[in-house]
Every structure is written in C-alpha cells, then in structure tokens.
Chain A
Amino acid sequence: MGRLSVNLCGIELDNPVIPASGTFGYGYEFADYYDINCLGTFSFKGTTKEPHFGNPTPRIAECTNGLINSIGLQNPGVDKVISEELPKLKKCFKKPVMANVSGFAVEDFAFTCEKLDKEEQVGWLEVNVSCPNVHGGGMAFGTNAETAASVVSAVKKVTKKPVIIKLSPNVTDIVTIAKACEAAGADGISLINTLLGMRINLKTRKPVVANKMGGFSGPAIFPVAVRMVYQVANAVKVPVVGMGGVSSAEDVIEMMLSGATAVEVGAANLVDPLASKKIIEDLPKTLDKYGIDNIKDIIGGVN
C-alpha cells in the first residue's frame, strides 16, 4: 500500500488516476507508447449490446480550453469487445479494468453487463446513463432519478462486480439522482459526463459538428465538475469517482478534496497521449508540496 493507493469499491488501486471512457480506446493502443500498468486502472470505450458506428462526421469541435465531441457511442458491440478487444488488452494490462457500458433500453444495459460480468479482467462496471450523443437512450436515463435507478437495479441483478453509475451534469438536481442510484444498490457514482454544448461556424453559419450538439469536455468544465462531485459526495455514502477537465496532479488533489475517491482523466489524453502517466508521475511531489502524507487522507477534505 503506497501513499498513492486508494480503495475503490473493494478493489485496491495503486493510484487514483483512471483514464476516462472514450479517451483511451480499449487500452492496448496507448500501450504502444507507455506501460499502461502504471495506471490505477482505466475505463474502456463505452460498450453496447449491438455494434454502433455512431454519429456522422464532423464529430469534433474546438472550444476555449476544451472540445465538443459527438462520437455517439461508436463501438464494435459487447460480443466483439469480449472476443477481440479484451484478449488484446490482457496482453498489456495486468490489472482489473473498468468496463464502461451504455445502452438504449434498461434490458440493453443488463444484457451487456451480464456478459461482461463473466470476464475475469473486468473489475468494475461503469454504467453510463449520461451520454449526450445518442437519441432516445443514454442521457434519457441519467436525467431522471427513477429511470437511472431502474438501470442500477437491473444491472445489479446480473452481476456481483461493483456497479458504478456514471451521471450526467445536464440536470437540475444531481443529488436526487445520485441518492436514487445509491438506494437502488449502486456501489459507486462517477461524474461528470460531458456538458451538452454547441458551436457554430461563422462562415457557413452551420453547427460545427454534424449532429449539431455534442458533449463539452476539457479544463473549461473542471469547476463545474468539482462543484458537482462535492454536492454528490456530501449526499451519498458510496465512493465517488470524480472527472471533468482534470489535467494535472493538482487537479487530482482538488477533485479528491471535493470528495472523489478516484479521479478520471479524459480530454487531456487526447491532446497529450502521455497525460495520465505524467499526472501519476507528478503526484508524489505534488503531495509533498501540499504537505500530504497519504492521498487517502484528503478524500472529501475540503474545509
């Protein structure tokens, strides 16, 4: 147990840094650039029951200190993830991985989670009820306490692995939704997914992304994330995984002070493929700088 280790839903992490779903593929691609075993874990690309191509392109828009994406859950479907992606991952990653699951109906989530439950390498199921880029699914579940809780209940019935529900910030009352998910049996809560955003090209007067709107992420949303993690962590007993614009070791500490047990790093991986590794390397000296002996001590430590 080093000074960076944390316990997330009964599984020990060497450090609290977790590349976020959708910014890290199925892991093995980053393994070409560095040994990804330095990570606490990572959350793999959102996986659904059926394969999905996602939205039309362009899917990306530049923003001040961030970006908008409208990928739309492109993934090869759970069967191929199990038969093709996970075997490749097993060769380069020796730790439990966080399986990110999405769906378009309650049964979809349960179907996909039941299959991933049988995979030895899957440590946690991160159930994404907050993707802003799919119509009639994803976020529709996450913006309503009852439906979010119904997804948790359905998933809990088919798995013994810890279930972490990933919530959307695009709601009026995040605390009510988080509490409903906890009451339905969620073992942890992760937040925030992207904020719904839009950019317009001044020359063409058309939206920059083909799907008109998309999910806004990056350092610009960090204060919103810290605020929501703080609100949720103060309202629930289960661990909270904080994310949203985290780009440095100091951001990790701030997110943990606000109440996060572990921290996901998203957009930063896209502009610097080594971002997560660098953050982990910077953590010990950053802890020293702020007089922190053990990172566990600062969880929820905001005065």
Chain B
Amino acid sequence: MKDVMLTVEGNKALTKDVYKMTLYGDCSDITAPGQFINIKIDGLYLRRPISVCDMNWNELTIIYKVVGKGTEALSKMVKGMEIQALTGLGNGYDMADAGDKPLLIGGGVGVPPLYNLARLLIEKKVKPTVILGFNKKDEIFYKKEFEKLGCEVRVTTVDGSEGTKGFVTDAFPEDYTYTYCCGPEPMLKAVYKTAKTSGQYSFEERMGCGFGACMGCSCKTITGYKRICKDGPVLRKEEILWED
C-alpha cells in the first residue's frame, strides 16, 4: 500500500453515467489484477474505493459509474488535476489457477477489473472467453477493447437489445477451465450456481478505511471472517458463504 499523488491524463464518458479516467503516477504497489485504489476527494471524509481497470508502468486506468457525490466529483475532474490515492489495495486475482481456457464474467461496473486480468492472461498465451453482462445496449462498454486483446467476447443484455437476451449465465460456453468474475452480488450468486469449475469471485462492500483497519466491510466465509478490503475483494469459490 502506498499513498500517492496521481495526475489526471484523461476523463471521458463511456456511457451515460460510466466514465473512464486515465491517471499518471507511481503505480508500483499495484501487484495483481483485481486490486483497487482508494481515492481522496475534496469535501468528502472517507476515500472512495475504485477497482483498477488496467495498469502499465506509470499509467493507470479506472472505470467508474456515477452513483453519488464522490463519483460525481470524480467525473468532473479534467486533465492536469491531481488526485491522492492509496494504491495496491486488496488481494486481486490469482492467475495461477486459470488453466488454458478460463472464463471471465463481468456485470456492469464489475467489468473493468477483468480487463487487466484478460490482458495479463493473454500475455501468458492463455486465451480467455469473456462474458460481459449489461441491462441494455446503451450501457455496454469495453466490448471492443476486450476483442482487441484477442478474447472471445460474448455480450448479454437483460432486454435483448444486443447479444444474448438474458443474464451472463445464459451465455456460458460448453468448455472452460476456470471462472473469474466481478459484478453485483445476485450475478455472483448465479455464476456460483451455474459454473462447473472452481473460480474466484470479486465482492463489493461499503468500506471505511480500505486497508483492513476498521472492520467495516467484514463478511463471513467458510474459512472465517474476512475483510473484503484486505483479505478480498477476491474470494475463492470454495470459501464463499452466502447469507440471505
């Protein structure tokens, strides 16, 4: 974990309320796909955790949806402005279990962290199949970016306005070696029930500190209490305990 100053390189809308921000600065503490950064925002007390979409040397990409005051403030930032962020938070995905045909599943703003994972898998000569789930056509983002990496991309929309009509579980391929996913909890639960393989699931929870101190984001797992920010956000399928 490192508290760094990052400079905004770009910040543009991908859809009506989803933005892509590129940042320049010290990314040396980011060591795995699926980690997040915790951003200090003027006028707000708590930092805002946002997953890393991609990272390359000193350049970082985040994709976020405007849902409240914090993300709204972020959406108004322009090139040259600086943000303070704690970087390298969370465990991230472990690529060692991928096998030769991993399946990556993202729902809505759960899609971004899978991009870095997909790119790093392809660097290892592993070609993932990617399912991107959205509500409707005008909410879709990053389909082309995944295709450019060389992934097989399947899109689902709840209303059928593009790709397969329905949920991510309606577009599962026959054959895959492992599952990596990130998205809203109902989607994670559906994937958990449908997937034939083991996998890693990235969870979201309201956080206080983002680095394991406050116990604000605790959850129960088969292997004990875990903090989503520090012991997660990625949990292995075998340890997930669903609470209704």
Contacts and interface: CB of A to CB of B under 8 A. Distances in A.
A270 B215 contact: no
Given A33-B1, A67-B46, 14 more contacts: A24-B213, A25-B212, A29-B230, A53-B218, A59-B206, A59-B217, A62-B70, A63-B45, A69-B208, A71-B215, A269-B209, A270-B209, A271-B45, A273-B209
Contact of A62 (B46, B220, B230): B46
Contacts of B230: 29
B141 interface: no
Contacts of B214: 22-23, 60, 69, 71, 270
A297 to B, nearest CB: 33
Nearest to B224: A76
A62 B45 CA distance: 7
Please provide the 5 A-B residue pairs with the shortest distance between their CB atoms, ordered closest to farther.
A58-B206, A270-B209, A60-B216, A60-B208, A74-B215
A45 B225 CA distance: 15
Contacts of A23: 209, 213-214
B44 A62 contact: yes
B64 interface: no
Interface string A134-146: 0000000000000
Given A53-B225, A58-B206, A273-B1, A64 B45 contact: yes
B71 to A, nearest CB: 12
A76 to B, nearest CB: 8
A217 to B, nearest CB: 10
Interface of A: 22-25, 29-30, 32-33, 45, 53-54, 57-67, 69, 71, 74, 218-219, 267, 269-274
Interface string B1-43: 1010000000000000000000000000000000000001000
B65 interface: no
18 contacts: A24-B213, A45-B215, A53-B218, A53-B225, A54-B218, A57-B206, A58-B205, A59-B215, A59-B218, A60-B207, A60-B216, A61-B206, A65-B45, A67-B46, A269-B209, A270-B213, A271-B45, A273-B86
Contact of B46 (A25, A59, A219, A271): A271
Interface residues of B, number: 27
B9 to A, nearest CB: 25
A57 B205 contact: yes
B219 interface: yes
B192 interface: no
Interface centre among B40, B209, B216 (most CB of A within 10 A): B216
A25 B213 contact: yes
Given A271-B46, A273-B86, A60 B206 contact: yes
A272 B213 contact: no
A69 to B, nearest CB: 6
A32 B29 CA distance: 13
Contacts of B46: 60, 62, 67, 270-271
Interface in B154-175: none
A66 B219 CA distance: 24
A250 to B, nearest CB: 19
Contact of B1 (A32, A45, A57): A32
Interface in B36-79: 40, 44-47, 69-70
A57 B3 contact: no
Query: Which of A57, A67, A71 lies at the interface centre, i.e. has the most chain B CB atoms within 10 A of its CB?
Result: A57
A30 B213 contact: yes
Given A71-B214, A271-B40, A273-B1, A57 B219 contact: yes
B211 interface: yes
A289 to B, nearest CB: 25
B69 to A, nearest CB: 8
A67 B213 contact: no
A172 B226 CA distance: 38
A54 B45 contact: no
Contacts of A24: 213
Contacts of A59: 206, 208, 215-218
B209 to A, nearest CB: 4
B205 to A, nearest CB: 6
A251 to B, nearest CB: 15
B70 to A, nearest CB: 8
B213 A273 contact: yes
B82 to A, nearest CB: 16
Contacts of B40: 271
Given A54-B215, A58-B205, A272-B3, A74 B44 contact: no
B221 to A, nearest CB: 11
A30 B209 CA distance: 12
Contacts of B220: 53
A57 B218 contact: yes
B36 to A, nearest CB: 15
A29 B212 contact: yes
B218 A74 contact: yes
A66 B230 CA distance: 22
B206 A74 contact: no
A57 B86 contact: no
